[in-house]
């Protein structure tokens, strides 16, 4: 069973709840909020997800309207590789080539069906390593 951290702001709340209900095979979700559609600040949810992914060596999902805010926040952490994915192919490449460890979904720009497929693809796709590992190792700043 994989444990995956998840968080969203108000714009991503409904999609987060749907993913929690639908994408559950072999997954235990740790829900860091938001817990309603009431307006909130996306960093309040992106920080705990990024910290938990780092501390526990697992993967995560962040959802907001455009996915930009949560991705920018999560990517402040050394060791986090948060990727904004709006198609299955981008999710696949983010994992295969970039070893992304947080999937960021733009809730206002994908359908529920697309988000489910993107999420499944992201978590089913392994990192290829090889020449990509050399590149990924150069991402961090000193």
Q: Which residues are designated catalytic?
A: 64, 97
Contact 59, 77 (CB under 8 A): no
Q: What is the CA radius of gyration of the chain?
A: 14
Contact 103, 122 (CB under 8 A): yes
Exposure class string for 30-49: b at 16+ Cβ within 10 A, else e? bbbbbeeeeebebbebbbbb
Q: Which two tokens stand for residue 97?
A: 């080539």
Q: What's the CA gap between 46 and 48, in Å, rounded? A: 6
């Amino acid at each position: 069973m994989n444990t995956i951290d998840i968080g969203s702001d108000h714009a991503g709340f409904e999609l987060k709840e749907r993913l929690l209900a639908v994408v559950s095979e072999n997954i235990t979700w740790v829900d860091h909020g938001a817990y309603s559609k009431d307006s909130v600040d996306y960093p309040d949810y992106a920080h705990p997800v990024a910290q938990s992914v780092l501390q526990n060596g697992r993967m995560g999902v962040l959802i907001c309207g455009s996915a930009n805010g949560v991705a920018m926040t999560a990517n402040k952490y050394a060791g986090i590789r948060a990727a904004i994915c709006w198609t299955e192919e981008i999710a696949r490449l983010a994992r295969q080539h970039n070893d992304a460890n947080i999937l960021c979904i733009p809730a206002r720009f994908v359908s529920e069906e697309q988000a489910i497929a993107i999420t499944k693809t992201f978590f089913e796709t392994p990192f290829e390593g090889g020449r990509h590992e050399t590149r990924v190792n150069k991402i961090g700043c000193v």
